């Protein structure tokens, strides 16, 4: 694979070849994390594994040409890679022998990555949404779901109220809904406009479904999984292209399959 990437990088037969090379290199780090989860190896939550994967990602970042580092797609892929590396800790069992500094660090890394991804997405002009790939839209869902999970995570070492104070998911949902509406308004073809009109409606559904858990997390002590069915219902397997429950329905309806 690396040899093929080197050839592609050196020849640059097409304008997008260089960008493609670095997207693939980022994705290879993501794939390593996915393979660990697919194979059912819980070691991917260990400090050694997450630190190793993070160091590989940082190596890719350091070697990347400076003119690509602020590219929106590159930034989205990098943030998604950090989520892939660290988000498993959101679902990892809470240690019973006291705080886990490694776990808390990974939670913070996941929070920063989700916020960073959504911030970049909001920089994309809504009139460009129709050209966005399904891969990017899947990343969009991951960032939203992870941010919700982090905002409602029931862990005595995790201050979910502080998370909501610093990264307000309701605010992001409002901005996302506004942009979907703007994108729908820009479309002249009814079929194109309908896709983004569905996006507006689905954001409204998300607000209704997630709202009670977000409010509860701000006002009350951490709830258990049994007492927090909305959170439990939205958990999905990181790395899978298929999102479970409400998120799967959202994607299916958004893209016009149902």
Show Cβ contacts of residue 33 under 8 Å, excluding neighbours closer than 6 positions: 44, 53, 84, 85, 88, 239
Show Cβ contacts of residue 147 under 8 Å, excluding neighbours closer than 6 positions: 111, 114, 115, 118, 167, 169, 172
Residue with more model confidence, 173 or 42? 173
DSSP 104-165: HHHHHHHHHHHHHHHHHHHHS-GGGGGG--HHHHHHHHHHHHHHHHHHH---TT--HHHHHH
What value does the CA radius of gyration of the chain take, rounded to a whole number of Å?
19
Kindly tell me if the per-residue pLDDT of 46 is higher than 90: no
Mean pLDDT for all residues in the chain: 78
- When pLDDT is averaged across residues 191-216 and rounded to a whole number, the result is 82
Residue with more model confidence, 104 or 114? 114
Domain residue ranges of the chain, discontinuous segments joined by +: 1-255
Q: Could you report the per-residue pLDDT of 97-111, keeping only the tens digit for each?
A: 656 778 888 899 999
Q: CA-CA distance, 35 to 44, in Å (whole number)? A: 10
Residue 167 · residue 111 · CB < 8 Å:
yes
Q: CA-CA distance, 102 to 108, in Å (whole number)? A: 10
Report pLDDT for 39: 66
């Amino acid at each position: 694979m690396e040899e093929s990437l080197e050839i592609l990088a050196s020849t640059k037969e097409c304008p997008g070849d260089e960008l493609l090379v670095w997207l693939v290199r980022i994705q290879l780090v993501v794939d390593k994390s996915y393979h660990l989860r697919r194979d059912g190896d819980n070691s991917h939550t260990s400090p050694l594994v997450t630190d190793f994967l993070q160091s590989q990602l940082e190596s890719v970042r350091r070697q990347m040409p400076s003119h690509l580092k602020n590219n929106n797609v590159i930034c989205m892929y990098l943030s998604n890679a950090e989520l892939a590396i660290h988000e498993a800790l959101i679902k990892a069992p809470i240690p019973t022998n006291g705080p886990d500094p490694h776990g808390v660090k990974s939670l913070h890394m996941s929070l920063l990555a989700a916020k960073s991804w959504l911030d970049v997405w909001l920089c994309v002009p809504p009139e460009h949404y129709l050209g966005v790939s399904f891969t990017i839209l899947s990343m969009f869902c991951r960032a939203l779901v992870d941010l919700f999970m982090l905002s409602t995570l029931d862990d005595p070492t995790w201050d979910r109220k502080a998370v909501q104070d610093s990264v307000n998911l309701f605010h992001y949902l409002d901005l996302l809904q506004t942009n979907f509406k703007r994108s729908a308004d820009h479309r002249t073809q009814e079929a194109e406009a309908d896709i983004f009109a569905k996006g507006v409606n689905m954001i409204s559904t998300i607000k209704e479904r997630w709202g009670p858990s977000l409010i509860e997390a701000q006002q009350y002590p951490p709830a258990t999984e049994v007492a927090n069915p909305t959170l439990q219902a939205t958990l999905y397997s990181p790395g899978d292209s298929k999102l479970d429950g409400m998120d799967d329905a959202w994607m299916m309806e958004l893209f016009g399959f149902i």
